[in-house]
Amino acid sequence: MSQSYFEESDNSKQINFKSLQKELGPKCRIPEYDICEKAQAGLSAVIDFKDVSSVLQTKQKDAQGLVIHKAEELRGNTNIRLLHVKGGRKLQIRLVQPTAKVLNNNDSYVLILPNKIIIWNGRMSSIMKKAKAADLADTVKRKRSYGCSCRFIQTVEHFGKNISHIMLKCFQEEPCVVNNTVNFTDADFENLITKTNMVFEVEGFDELGNKNLIFNPELSCKPLKRSNLNSSKAYVFDFGTEVYLWIGSKYDKSNLVIEKQLALKYFENTQNSYLQE
């Protein structure tokens, strides 16, 4: 999965108000009426969302269109995403294949659908993992990430042997047993995942007028901190199962086609078979 991110605000919303049917004359006006008048105007307001909707759609297409659209073609079914929460002192979150077979009793997961978010906690999942999964689910719901617009979050505490019918229905799979095997300890998983973090910097135009991705050893293979990023630069993050294009707030955003093409080209060259389905 590949995504591009940068902040851009738009204040072009327009609200049309209906005129009040009856007005009080100056002699009949009372102090509280001004407040009541504003309240009535608010209740009588008619908001035209057509312009707002088109603006938001245009902004989203301009900001994410190329990378997001292509990523959907490469990724296959983007209507369901499963995030794995694992680790000890420094919990890690990774996108994994959305299937019941990857669920493990030792960890927590967040299943994201267009209209639903489910937190799945394994029988032996720690309090820290459960708390992190809950925080992640709340963030996705609040920010409507991954195109999710659900109204509530459902939590499944697994205590049995087989996967619950709720999860199987979401995955559209047959009943199966939950995995109890620990392939990596939490500490080993943290170290392994951290070492796979790759950061590339978008280099300016060279002699041939081309931009290139340059590997950044100072930011790679270690926990990523926003304070270490230069707001006047653009980066491509490779987190194994996810590729992001990060645009600094001071970076020239007049034309980001080349940056998106670089991120997309890198994404297409990844060796993760799950992503390339």
- Lowest-pLDDT range of 6-10, 35-39, 156-160, 181-185: 6-10
What is the C-alpha separation between 115 and 82, in angstroms, rounded?
Answer: 14
pLDDT score of 32 more than 50: no
89 three-state secondary structure: coil
Give whole-number Cα distances, 57 to 49, 52, 53, 61, 120, in Å. Answer: 12, 9, 6, 6, 33
Alpha helices, H only, 27-161: 31-43, 49-75, 127-143
In degrees, rounded to 5, the angle at the alpha carbon of residue 72 between the alpha carbons of residues 174 and 258 is 155
State the average pLDDT over residues 43-50: 45
- Whether pTM > 0.75 for this model: the answer is no
For residue 208, report the phi and psi dihedrals to the nearest 5 degrees: -90, 0
pLDDT one-digit tens code per residue, 161-191: 788 888 888 988 888 888 888 778 898 988 8
42 three-state secondary structure: helix
With a CB cutoff of 8 Å and minimum separation 6, the contacts of 103 are 109, 120, 122, 158, 163, 167, 178, 179
Q: Which domains does the chain have, with CATH numbers?
A: 80-184 (3.40.20.10), 197-275 (3.40.20.10)
Long-range contacts of 205-209 (CB under 8 A, 24+ apart): none
Place of tokens 């990724």: 75
Confidence of residue 16 (pLDDT cuts 50, 70, 90): very low
Structure-block tokens of residue 13: 């919303």
> For residue 40, what pLDDT is reported?
55
